[in-house]
Amino acid sequence: MAARARTTRGNRPAAPTAAAAFTPDALSVAARHLEVGGEWVASFAVVGFPREVHPGWLTPLLTYPGRLDVSVHIEPIDPATAASRLQKQLAKLEAGRRHTAEHGRLFDPRVEAATEDAYDLSSRVARGEGKLFRVGLYLTIHAASEKTLADEVAALRSLCASLLLDAKHTTYRSLQGWVSTLPMGLDLIGMRRTFDTSALAAAFPFTSPDLPAPDPTSVAAPSGVLYGYNMGSQGLVHWDRFGDGMHNHNSVVLGRSGAGKSYLVKLELLRNLYRGVEIAVVDPEDEYARLAAAVGGTYLHLGAPGVRVNPFDLPVHTRPDGHRTAPKDALVRRSLFLHTLLDVLLGGEPEAAERAALDRAIAATYQSVGITADARTWTRPSPTLRDLRDRLGGAGQAGDRAAGELAAKLHPFVEGAFKQLFDGPSSVNPEGHLVVFSLRDLPDELKGIGTLLTLDAVWRRVSNPAIRRPRLVVVDEAWLLMKEPSGAEFLLRMAKAGRKHWAGLTVATQDTADVLGSDLGKAVVANAATQILLRQASQAIDEITRTFDLSGGERAFLLSADRGQGLLAAGTQRVAFQSIASPTEHYLVTSDPAELAAYADTTEPVDHADTAFVDLGFDEDSSQTDDESDPDEIHLDTA
């Protein structure tokens, strides 16, 4: 039977309709195949399924090398009907088992398995832990000729058999089978099986076959974030850095300039915020300002007028019950940090006499404002660098030559050209679900000290035992930070010790050769359980290949990858993916100058930032714990 579709009105063709996209020029129907235009197609209905399935079990069908249409039709069954059907099915199965036992016959293993499954399913439906659905699975294979179609049909049936699927030809219903696999929601075959919630959820391709996937129906399964889609299977690449099986929560993102590193890092940051992950960002290039403003984050622009960070502040935190806590040795640790800070500030380690004078002056400076070893005094206002300079100057006038020289060296940072960062108490509070430290506008003379202050604030937040939630520290353009010795040491310390504090480090850099060319850089990469490689320069690909043991195909892929395409490696699993973002996410994370200029020229900037990501549901108190005391904390009496 052949039919040619023509729709005319007078001498003019009729206006196109939505159905015209699925209307072929000619259609020839046979018993087991169709000739649709210049193609030959055959349809199948799956009538047999495996007893147990794993997440993404239909992915092999989606990765079939030929053209295959897969259609899943789902119809929910109301709980009352489901319970009634299960009861009848159990009655039939039990009656069969008793009949077999009465006649002394051997039990059928399939009947025994079906009975156990029916009891388990009935129990879960009764408790509301699952529902029942009627599911139809249909397949349509395409080929260029009738001979090629026979080969494709044989290959498809072999694939289905390997998946324990029983696929039957829609004999004499080939037209209905083809229509059932079109994206119109029509099921003209009606051959359905009953699925429970877990089996149906596992049928959706929400996981990558190249990455280990948790049970999507388990309440204990980690949520993870979406990185993009699998370039091999078109499935979704979903990964959780805080999963139970991960050795650490660190990630390293390597790629050449323009490969999409910052774009991907900001996407992951944004999606982790919705999971309740607390994030601190070290931003050398000032790229996170719009994102921080959109999500209500804290943005600290070091180097801007009025932005001051007092290194003398003690790490005292307020709990929801009103108590203030701090490490038992907070004053001692702060004094030691001040020694390190002044070494960086003064351009080298002081002599023994200067170090002794400095140690005495630090203790006297804290005592001058009433802060002593008594923890109850730690909530008082902290001294400043000016107070330390005055103490050193006073000691110098009393005859301590080393103290006088130190006071003279501190003068530019107290009253001179570089005083803007230390001229008074702290004017910013690095607290919140997202804290961004911008280092772009710091003078070169203050880059080192600004980096050290930033990393100190980040580490104090990460190591705070009063906060019990997953945290991420994002270091964008890490090669700028690693030029500073203090910054390089922090990255290694964070990479090794972050897991103990439920924290992960994200290092993104375009200077791959310098990172992998140093022992410190290799140590940071080696301590990252999640490694993402974007497009690489030909000059660095040899070192990348040796470090990550890339195959020839992976090497060629990284040399030719488009923007946003990369290789995600987690242990022995690797997957090539393409990062994707919604229009709202793209508006918040893009750094393309042309797009930013277009947004700036728009009279009404974009509705995206006004409609989403404004309120993430974070409460400042939600980051704290309950009233239980931590053995490593002390309670401060503010009276």
Domain enclosing residue 42, as ranges: 2-203
Asked if residue 582 lies in contact with residue 596, where contact means CB atoms within 8 angstroms, the answer is no
Looking at the fold, whether 436 and 338 belong to one and the same domain comes out as no
Whether residue 323 sits in one domain with residue 282: no
Residue type, 513: A
Let me know if residue 492 belongs to a domain. Answer: yes
Q: Encoding tokens for residue 21?
A: 């996209």
218 — pLDDT class (breaks 50, 70, 90) = very low
CATH number of the domain enclosing 457? 3.40.50.300
Percent helix, percent strand, percent coil in the chain, to nearest 5: 40, 20, 40
Among all chains, which residue has been given the structure tokens 């204990």? Answer: 220
Q: Does residue 234 lie within any of the structural domains?
A: no
Q: Which of 331, 633, 333, 330 is nearest to 466 (CA)?
A: 633
* Structure-model confidence comparison of residues 141 and 11, the more confident one: 141
Burial of 70 (0-12, 13-18, 19+ CB in 10 A): middle
39 and 57 housed in the same domain: yes
Residues 466 and 418 in one domain: no
Q: Which residue has the higher pLDDT, 95 or 112?
A: 95
pLDDT in tens, 41-51: 999 999 998 87
Question: Which one, of 459, 511, 516, 447, lies nearest residue 484 by Cα?
Answer: 447
Query: What average pLDDT score do residues 291-296 get?
Result: 90
Q: What is the pLDDT of residues 253-264, one digit of tens each?
A: 988 888 888 899
pLDDT of residue 13: 46
Which pLDDT band holds residue 221 (cuts at 50, 70, 90)?
very low
What is the DSSP pairing of strand 193-196 with strand 236-239? unpaired
Taking residues 86-105, report their average pLDDT. 77
Q: Is residue 233 part of a domain?
A: no
All residues at 6 or more sequence positions from 494 whose CB lies less than 8 Å from its CB, including other chains: 459, 462, 473, 503, 505
Three-class DSSP category at 140: strand
Residues 287 and 367 in one domain: no
H or E element in which residue 333 lies: helix 330-345
- Give the chain's end-to-end CA distance (angstroms, integer): 94
Q: Which residues of 172-187 are buried (b: 16+ CB within 10 A; e: fewer)?
A: ebbbbbbbbbeeeeeb
CB < 8 Å & 24+ apart, contacts of 81-88: 82/125, 82/131, 82/132, 83/122, 83/125, 83/126, 85/132, 85/194, 86/118, 86/121, 86/122, 86/125, 86/132, 87/122
- Residues 367, 436: one domain? no
Q: What DSSP designation does 18 have? A: G
Are residues 500 and 357 part of one domain? no
279 shares a domain with 130 = no
User: What is the tally of structural domains in the chain?
Assistant: 3
Is 98 part of any domain? yes
List, as one string, the DSSP characters of 543-558.
HHHHHHT--HHHHHHH
Q: Are residues 451 and 516 in the same domain?
A: yes
DSSP notation for 564-583: TEEEEEETTEEEEEE----H
Backbone angles phi, psi at 462, to 5 degrees: -65, -40
Place of tokens 């008793």: 98
436-492 tens-digit pLDDT: 988 888 887 787 788 888 888 888 888 776 677 888 998 887 776 677 676 677 778
Q: Is 239 within a domain?
A: no
**For residue 629, what pLDDT band results from cuts at 50, 70 and 90?**
very low
- Between CA 601 and CA 596 the distance in angstroms is 9
* HSE-CB for 442 with a 13 A CA cutoff: 27
Is residue 632 pLDDT above 50, yes or no? Answer: no
Q: What is the CATH number of the domain that holds 415?
A: 1.10.8.730
Integer Cα distance of 109 and 458 in angstroms: 60
Asked if residue 229 is part of any domain, the answer here is no
**Which pLDDT value is given to residue 403?**
87
Q: Is residue 632 assigned to a domain?
A: no
pLDDT tens digits along 546-565 = 888 888 888 888 998 998 89
Model confidence at 78: pLDDT above 80: yes
> Residue 207: exposed, middle, or buried by beta-carbon count in 10 A (0-12, 13-18, 19+)?
buried
Of 427, 444, 465, the last residue of a domain is 427
552 and 444 part of one domain: yes
